[in-house]
A and B are shown apart, each in its own frame.
Chain A
Amino acid sequence: MTKLLFNFLIFPGFLFTVIFGLAASWIDRKVTARIQWRVGPPWYQPLIDLVKLSIKEITVPRTASKGLFFLSPMIGLSAVTLVSMLVWLVNIDPASKGFSGDIIVVTYLLTLPAIAIILGASASGNPLASLGASREIKLVMAYELPFIICLIVPVIKSHGLLRLSDIINYQAVNGSFAASFSGIIAFIVMIFCMQAKLGLVPFDASEAETEIMGGAFIEYSGILLAVFKITKTMLMVALPLFLITLFWQGFNFLSLWKYVILLVVIILIRNTNPRVRIDQAVRFFWGKMTLLAILAVLLAIKGM
């Protein structure tokens, strides 16, 4: 029990992932700055943003439904903490075997941060926030379909294993799934879905700052906004690591370069693309990406 609490709160759950994610988000801002030919913020900038947000006043709109307004950031944070604990533990702790079906649990938990954003936005009673919430709902429905279809590919290729640690062991024996045709197609589709799950630039229509002024987060201030920022930061660690676990033989502290490569891919996609409209995003995911995902599943059934 004590060990589980330690795993959940300090290592590798909440605290460790937050520190890791703050470093990752600093790399994101710094690389973005270098691409735009400027210097960029100092290394402590993401941390000091959070500290500043936590000492600001919390404003609650009069029309808000108070309970849900305060509760929804916590829903997202607890879900993403649980995901990062599961994903880190099956990879770096050989004693932890996970449990059968944890791949399904992680998939469900990864949807919860988006649902928390939708709940919080609709609880805040702001018209622009409801616009952001409706866009987020459409985006969730759009990217979940290819994401789940692609999730079938490693299960088929490992002949029906539903446990993350078993999938890692299978890849350690038979080579990583990303080296096969079906695996690499599914991996690429998953990277686009990850970009949408993180809410980064081509798919950030739900919080478009220049258009609907922060969208879903428009009424959040102070520590509640900081909790949403922490959730996004932790998701930026948990999602790439989940993808590496599924397709790229897992990782340990020596092979964290895989994470850095995925992070750089995310940053490059974010910096070289304009924001797409929500109908374009839905068409992208339900059209091309779903077709590619189905192709990957068919290839995996054929054994390629």
Chain B
Amino acid sequence: MSLRLKALTKSIWVYHMSTGSCNNCDIEILDMLTPRFDVERFGITLVGSIRHADAILVTGSLNLKTIPRIKAIYEQAPKPCVVIAIGACSCGQGMFKNGPNCPNPVDSVLPVDVYIPGCPPKPEAMIAGIVKLIEKLKNPHPNPLP
């Protein structure tokens, strides 16, 4: 494994972006960052500014007000930067599928790298999703199953 990939996957600084969620996923994200799960073991830290971020955690159903804002946030992020959709709303619009205020799913606006479903997903599920993301980054084209 190259040093570049190792550095990128061993030190993921996450930025938390809520696009109009019910705060349940946000509370679970904060739970994931508590000492009980201790994600600093893997180099994952929460940062306050998007300029420091390596991963954007998107929660909530994308509504009309937040579409331009999330685009601006993504353009400000220094690349390489991955997008992680957390929760049923940001994965597939959830119960707001037919809502008039939420016409676009998150992956129609941003290139989402990993989806973590659940309403809300447990912290264990989020860590499992990030592990899958790291495996995908290490091996972008896995061999198909025999």
* Residues on A facing B (Cβ under 8 Å): 29, 33, 36-42, 44-45, 48-49, 51-52, 55-59, 209-210, 212-214, 217-222, 225
Contact = CB atoms under 8 A, between A and B. Distances in A.
B80 to A, nearest CB: 7
A219 B46 CA distance: 16
Nearest to B75: A59
A38 B10 CA distance: 18
B43 A45 contact: yes
A6 B52 CA distance: 33
B3 A225 contact: no
A37 B35 CA distance: 7
B138 interface: no
7 contacts: A38-B40, A45-B10, A48-B7, A48-B43, A51-B7, A59-B76, A210-B48
Contacts of A48: 6-7, 10-11, 43
Contacts of B26: none
Given A33-B40, A38-B35, A225 B79 contact: no
B78 interface: yes
A82 to B, nearest CB: 28
B38 interface: yes
A41 B13 CA distance: 13
Contacts of A39: 38, 41
Interface in B10-54: 10-11, 35-36, 38, 40-41, 43, 46-49, 51-52, 54
Interface of B: 3-4, 6-8, 10-11, 35-36, 38, 40-41, 43, 46-49, 51-52, 54, 76, 78-80
A253 to B, nearest CB: 31
B34 to A, nearest CB: 9
Nearest to A32: B40
Contacts of A209: 46-48
A112 B11 CA distance: 29
Contacts of B8: 52, 55
B3 A51 contact: yes
A41 B49 CA distance: 22
A48 to B, nearest CB: 5
Given A45-B10, A213-B49, A214-B48, 17 more contacts: A29-B40, A33-B38, A37-B35, A42-B41, A45-B43, A52-B11, A55-B8, A57-B79, A209-B47, A209-B48, A212-B48, A214-B47, A214-B52, A220-B51, A220-B52, A225-B51, A225-B52
Contacts of B41: 38-42
Given A45-B43, A48-B11, A49-B43, A213 B48 contact: yes
Contacts of A222: 78
Contacts of A45: 10-11, 43
Contact of A55 (B7, B10, B35, B51): B7
